[in-house]
Amino acid sequence: MAQRSARTEKQIAANIFKGSLGNMIEWFDWYVYASFAIYFSAAFFPAENKTAELLSTAAVFAVGFLMRPLGSFIMGRFADRKGRRAALTLSVTIMATGSLVIAVTPGFKVIGVWSPLILVVTRLFQGLSLGGEYGTSATYLSEMASPKRRGFYSSFQYVTLISGQLFALLVQIVLQSLLSNAQLYAFGWRIPFVIGALGAVAVLWLRLSMEESDQFTAKNKHSKKAGTLTLLAKYPKQFFTVVGLTFGGTIAFYAYTTYLQKFMINTTGLNTRVVSVINFFALLVMLILQPIFGAISDKIGRKPMLLWFGIGGTLFTVPIFSVLAHVHSPWAAFFLMLTGVVIVSGYTSINAIVKAELFPTEIRALGVGFPYGLTVAIFGGTVEYVALWLRSANMESLFFYYVAFASFVSLVVYWRMLETSSASEINVDSVTDAATGIENGQVGR
């Protein structure tokens, strides 16, 4: 049994930072696609109208999500057997390579059908990378955090996720101010993909200097059963709890963030640049809320925060979207979006730690990532496509009820589940590791 190390809060924070920054770059690379789809859709999918072009790029966005269950399985198994650090380093390498490929791929007019084909294949690999990133990152942050601050530290998964989206929006705003629309459509959309690829160099160095979690070192390093489907099959209740937890959260998150930008342009009729600014500041507030909500969950529990989202999403989604469809003021649009992201923060801030607390160490990365990846692939990745399809069929209001219904389904799960902070498998592992260390003549700390 390896001796467990006692880390100071400064050392814990340093490891959390290194793990989180890589998460930010991955999500920046992922969201750059959604943020700049308006500009590059014609380059890969020339069509007679803008809605058709956006439907094509939204379909590719959804296709990328289809690889996430496979990625969560492959990378989750890898993380449970070879280490969290190794899996996180591999995932960011795949994502960065994909961004570079998109940045240099010629358009449809130059290489014909090869252009969208390369885009689709690249997004498949990026989806595999992102599928592995979520479960491994959630596991690493949860295991690395000090026991009484797990909600706070694990919230940085969505802090960096939102940071990646904010960074993508900030780059969009800057490029919109420096380049004309013609330049953005011609070549400007390639710049953020280059930025994402280059950012991975520093991230790779940081992740290589991360410490491995004590839980993995103590339990998984020499375990032949770690990260197997046979072992995961012993936790069906936890598996389906993750599915239920994620269902409403992922649909609401992508509805209020990624899709809302296009909704304000296409339905509300606001200027593209104004919408970018609205999104930036609403998401900035959401980012700030994550550690606050995470710290609150350390005091009052995870379940009240989940109920906050479930009830709010069920009751207020339809009114928010219905009013937003008819407003003309950018300020009104901003406060409506802000209301939505404050509601969703009840889920985003603590979903990583809640899922991690459901599984023991030897199956944690796979247990968190695989059911999450399946749910996000089917429901989260199709949010934009469903919304745009309903809009094209003149039934856009049905989308509002779809999001509200998803929130209600998860609300039922939240209501029936136990409080994970008081029955955490991470606590069980820590006690077991400490006791085993004492039996072997070691000091378990």
Least confident of 56-60, 92-96, 390-394: 56-60
Distance CA(195)–CA(203), nearest Å, equals 13
Q: Which residue has the higher pLDDT, 326 or 131?
A: 326
304: Cβ contacts below 8 Å, ≥ 6 apart: 297
Q: What is the pLDDT of residue 229?
A: 81
9-219+235-434: CATH number: 1.20.1250.20
Q: Which residue has the higher pLDDT, 420 or 240?
A: 240
First and final C-alpha spacing in the chain = 13
Check pLDDT > 50 for residue 2: no
pLDDT, position 148 = 84
Domain borders along the chain are 9-219+235-434
Supply the pLDDT for residue 441.
38
Contacting residues for 415 by C-beta, under 8 A, at least 6 apart: 307, 310
Flag whether pLDDT at 191 surpasses 90: yes
Q: Quick one: pLDDT band at residue 4, thresholds 50, 70, 90?
A: very low
Question: What is the pLDDT averaged over residues 55-76?
Answer: 79
DSSP one-letter string for 255-289? IIIIIHHHHIIIII---HHHHHHHHHHHHHHHHHH
Among 35-39, 87-91, 345-349, the range scoring the smallest mean pLDDT is 35-39
Say which range, 64-73, 94-103, 301-310, 331-340, has the weakest mean pLDDT: 64-73
How much is the pTM?
A: 0.81
Burial profile 215-224: b = 16 or more Cβ within 10 angstroms, e = fewer: bbbbbbeebe
Query: What stretches of 149-271 show up as alpha helix (H) in DSSP?
Result: 150-154, 156-178, 181-186, 191-208, 214-215, 229-232, 236-254, 260-263
Q: 123-135, pLDDT tens digit by residue? A: 888 888 888 888 8
